[in-house]
Structure 1
Amino acid sequence: MLSNKRKRRVAEAESSTGFNIHPMDQFQIKPLFGAGEIHWYTPTNVTLWMLIAVVVATVLLVLGTRGRAVIPSRSQSIAEMMYGFVYKMVEDVTGKEGLKYFPYIFTLFIFILLANFLGLIPGSFTTTSHIAVTAVLALGVFLGVTILGFVKNGTKFLGLFWVSSAPLALRPVLAVIEIISYFVRPVSHSIRLAGNVMAGHAVIKVFAGFAGALGVFSIFPIISITAVYGLEVLVAAIQAYVFTILTCVYLNDALHPSH
């Protein structure tokens, strides 16, 4: 009862002052149809915006490049630029041997990039702000490169954890550190993306709350929102790049495990 009364008092205070900021509400997962409990098969706002990202990627990369004109259209130019950028990244980090895995890495990059940018549209939902989404992407990379490492190298893949260039007495200690850091990879890989995306959106929502409460002085939080939004555009691209290049680094470890 006390907690309910406290909630009512807070709500009344917020309504009386006009100061009502709930920056984390924008990350709530809601069913698309009706209300009630969410099950694994329930279509939600996350499902919708992931589907939109896939559709946009298909339109851009398939329909936008089907003409293959000598003088490319805008959509073809954008698609070719992203293709070349990721192709060069994979080749530089993993070598020619890693290019056979380029389609998977390119798919990751495009999905994360588009999901990040779509999340910047007012009223949209940022799917990459949820650990549940980024963790699946990171686990896919982690399991994929680990299985590939053993398939390609057998037990030699364990050489990734044995620092042969270090003094013999330190090698067991370094091996333990390397093993721990290896299994932490999917955690850091997923949290880095979700945390950066979520933080920026929460800051924008806080400034928006100030803009609604300050009246004539709302110009100051509006300027801040504009600045943070511009930063978020950069973060959306940078985080897609960081996730992709770390995937390339992990793939290189699987292909060339020896220190």
Structure 2
Amino acid sequence: MGKLFFYVALALVVVSGVLFAPEHAALAIHPMDQFNVASLTGGAVNTFAITNVTLWLALAVVCVFLLMVVGSSRRAIVPGRAQSVAELTYGFIYKMVEDVAGKDGVKFFPYIMTLFMFILMANFLGLIPMSFTTTSHIAVTAILAGLVFFTVTIVGFVKNGAGFLGLFWVSSAPLALRPILAIIELISYFVRPVSHSIRLAGNVMAGHAVLKVFAGFAGALGLFSFLPIFAITAVYALEVLVAFIQAYVFTILTCVYLKDALHPSH
């Protein structure tokens, strides 16, 4: 039944586009234009330019500060909304770090908490109309993933020394297979920052591109424009959920990588 409704709605969208769209209107939808980096000062985009990325990254930091510092500064016995959200988030991430990375990983809780809050705020700010989604850019997510990769690797060698290499040696496997598995484990380890960054940027970018496509249809389909509007509402609700899930996935993977650094043996 659900599939039938989908195909009927899709057919109505196509038919309405043919019959009721203005004849002079061209259906020119450019969903990727929203990800263009632009200078806010009107000059060229270079290393020292203040761009829309700079602005929305700064706003994400400000929002984290307002929620976690200003919002919980009163420390009331009966917390307000901001303090409740801050305390719930704190407890949620602390429990995650403790459960996944173990007691040894709790000392890295401030770093992991900062990662989660920054990505979450950047994702939510990107859902504001006419805003810029910084986490849709691989340049941003690659830096975050790279920092996690180098931090975890350094921690692994500092804490375990050469024993950290035990992460790549599957001692439970047959001896003949261990060198092959070691190569596979080594490759997968260095692929981590790539998958870590692309997963976040790709999911955020895809959702925003779909929203832009449906918005373009809504502006061009005339009488039946309400169909894409319904789709936009549904996709937007999904994007709110994705904004949280992607921040959560990035953070829990960080905890998993940290656990491997702290306890590298298979």
Q: What TM-score, normalized by structure 2, do the two folds share?
A: 0.91
| Residue type at the aligned position of 2:98 | E
Which of these residues, 132, 145, 149, is aligned with residue 142 of structure 1?
A: 149
Which of these residues, 193, 205, 215, is aligned with residue 208 of structure 1?
A: 215
Distance in 2, matches of 1:218 and 1:20, equals 16
8 Å CA contact 1:31, 1:45 repeated in 2 = yes
1:28 aligned to 2:1?
Answer: no
1:220 aligned to 2:227?
Answer: yes
Distance in 1, matches of 2:206 and 2:73, equals 38
CA shift for structure 1 position 149: 0.3
Q: Deviations over 1:179-235 (max 9, x none)?
A: 000000000000000000000000000000000110111011101101110110110
CA shift for structure 1 position 105: 0.3
1:186 aligned to 2:190?
Answer: no
Corresponding position of 1:71: 78
Corresponding position of 1:115: 122
SS in 1 for 2:31: coil
Q: Deviations over 1:144-191 (max 9, x none)?
A: 000110000000000000000001111000000000000000000000
After superposition, where does 1:1-259 map in structure 2 within 5 Å?
16-35=24-43, 37-259=44-266
8 Å CA contact 1:18, 1:212 repeated in 2 = no
CA shift for structure 1 position 15: 9.7
Distance in 1, matches of 2:240 and 2:105, equals 30
Runs (5+) with no aligned partner, structure 1: 1-13
Instruction: Give the % identical residues.
Output: 72
SS in 2 for 1:26: helix
Distance in 1, matches of 2:248 and 2:138, equals 18
8 Å CA contact 1:197, 1:236 repeated in 2 = yes
Q: Deviations over 1:15-49 (max 9, x none)?
A: 932412000000000001113x2111100000000
Q: What TM-score, normalized by structure 1, do the two folds share?
A: 0.93
SS in 1 for 2:53: helix
What's the Cα RMSD here?
Answer: 1.1
8 Å CA contact 1:157, 1:257 repeated in 2 = yes
Q: Deviations over 1:223-254 (max 9, x none)?
A: 11011101101100000000000000000000
Runs (5+) with no aligned partner, structure 2: 1-21
Distance in 2, matches of 1:38 and 1:213, equals 33
SS in 1 for 2:176: coil
Distance in 2, matches of 1:137 and 1:77, equals 27
SS in 1 for 2:24: helix
Corresponding position of 2:16: none
8 Å CA contact 1:45, 1:125 repeated in 2 = yes
| Residue type at the aligned position of 1:183 | F
| Residue type at the aligned position of 2:54 | T
Distance in 2, matches of 1:143 and 1:203, equals 34
Distance in 1, matches of 2:92 and 2:24, equals 53
Distance in 1, matches of 2:23 and 2:108, equals 55
How many aligned residue pairs are there?
Answer: 245
